[in-house]
């Protein structure tokens, strides 16, 4: 299966809300938890609220998740790290140019993650990681490390194939990561503070990725003048 098809097949399933009852599927609890974590943050979200939002009792929630921390980890795995694992797995089957691969990855990030509530987890971690070091370490292992590894693999592929010029990979991944992080912050913070903000995410990403590719592309050496031209 191609990388593009694999990316398109990783959209998380949506779950319908139900009236309060004794049982709930874990997916419904995760959906409720995601909404509240993004809206209120980790510290301010109470498990009682999550259970009420899903239409069940707190006891039912604890049948599936031992603590709020475990609930948060499950939300991250369901909505973010699961995508990254599948995208990394589809890397080797991609047959197009590395420029096209980068375009697909950036657009898919927005379609599957950035445009959804799940991108609010990025803002949450930026603001609360210092107060919850265990969750910060979990997020680094589950999201940051595989995410940067995917970017590194894309850039290295381009260099190995002679499509990209050599760059310092230690910092090269941040060239790609920076516009993604900005867009997540804009969606959940900056963009909501300014009524005049007219940023269209798809257009923004298109400009960013083409600018990145222009900087990465191998420059052809200038053609030396012919003897005839020199004589004249």
Q: What pLDDT, on the 0 to 100 scale, is given for residue 20?
A: 45
CB-neighbour burial class of residue 203 (10 A; exposed 0-12, middle 13-18, buried 19+): exposed
The answer to whether residue 29 is domain-embedded is no
The C-alpha angle 182, 187, 188, rounded to 5 degrees, equals 100
Is the dihedral angle over the CA atoms 122, 140, 81, 167 positive or is it negative? Answer: positive
Tell which residue, 117, 77, 89, has the closest CA to residue 2: 89
The answer to whether residue 226 is domain-embedded is no
Q: What pLDDT, on the 0 to 100 scale, is given for residue 140?
A: 96
The rounded average pLDDT for each run of 10 residues, N- to C-terminus, in the chain (232 residues) is: 54 44 76 96 96 93 96 96 83 91 92 92 93 96 93 95 94 94 86 66 94 87 59 52
Tokens 């894309």 -> residue: 154
The answer to whether residue 55 is domain-embedded is no
Tell which residue, 7, 52, 45, 178, has the closest CA to residue 121: 45
The answer to whether residue 128 is domain-embedded is yes
- What does the chain come to in residues? 232
The answer to whether residue 127 is domain-embedded is yes
- Look up the CATH number of the domain holding residue 151: 1.10.357.10
- Domain with 106, as residue range(s), is 3-10+73-216
Q: What pLDDT, on the 0 to 100 scale, is given for residue 75?
A: 97
| Domain count for the chain | 1
Who contacts 93 (Cβ-Cβ below 8 Å, separation ≥6)?
Answer: 1, 2, 3, 6
Q: What pLDDT, on the 0 to 100 scale, is given for residue 58?
A: 93
CA dihedral 186, 191, 197, 200 (to 10 degrees): 50
The answer to whether residue 47 is domain-embedded is no
Q: In this structure, what DSSP letter does residue 43 have?
A: T
Q: What pLDDT, on the 0 to 100 scale, is given for residue 25?
A: 83
The answer to whether residue 95 is domain-embedded is yes
The answer to whether residue 119 is domain-embedded is yes
* Long-range contacts formed by 132-138: CB under 8 A, 24+ apart: 132/42, 132/43, 132/69, 134/69, 135/42, 135/69, 135/72, 135/73, 138/73, 138/76
pTM of the model: 0.80
As a whole number of angstroms, the distance between CA 54 and CA 156 comes to: 44
Q: In this structure, what DSSP letter does residue 226 have?
A: P
């Amino acid at each position: 299966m191609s990388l593009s098809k694999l990316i398109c097949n990783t959209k998380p399933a949506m779950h319908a809300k139900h009236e309060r009852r004794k049982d709930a599927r874990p997916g419904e609890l995760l959906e409720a938890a995601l909404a509240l974590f993004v809206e209120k943050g980790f510290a301010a979200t109470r498990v009682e609220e999550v259970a009420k939002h899903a239409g069940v009792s707190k006891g039912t929630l604890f049948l599936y998740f031992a603590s709020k921390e475990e609930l948060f980890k499950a939300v991250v795995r369901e909505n973010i790290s699961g995508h990254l694992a599948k995208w990394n797995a589809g890397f080797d089957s991609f047959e197009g140019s590395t420029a096209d691969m980068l375009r697909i990855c950036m657009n898919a990030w927005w379609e599957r993650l950035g445009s959804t509530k799940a991108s609010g987890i990025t803002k949450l971690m930026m603001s609360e990681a210092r107060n919850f070091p265990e969750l910060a370490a979990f997020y680094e292992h589950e999201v940051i490390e595989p995410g940067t590894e995917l970017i590194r693999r894309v850039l290295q592929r381009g260099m190995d194939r002679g499509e990209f010029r050599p760059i310092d990979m230690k910092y090269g991944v941040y060239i790609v990561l920076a516009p993604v992080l900005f867009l997540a912050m804009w969606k959940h913070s900056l963009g909501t503070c300014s009524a005049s903000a007219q940023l269209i995410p798809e257009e923004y990403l298109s400009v960013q990725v083409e600018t990145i590719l222009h900087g990465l592309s191998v420059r052809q050496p200038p053609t030396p003048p012919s003897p005839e031209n020199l004589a004249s």
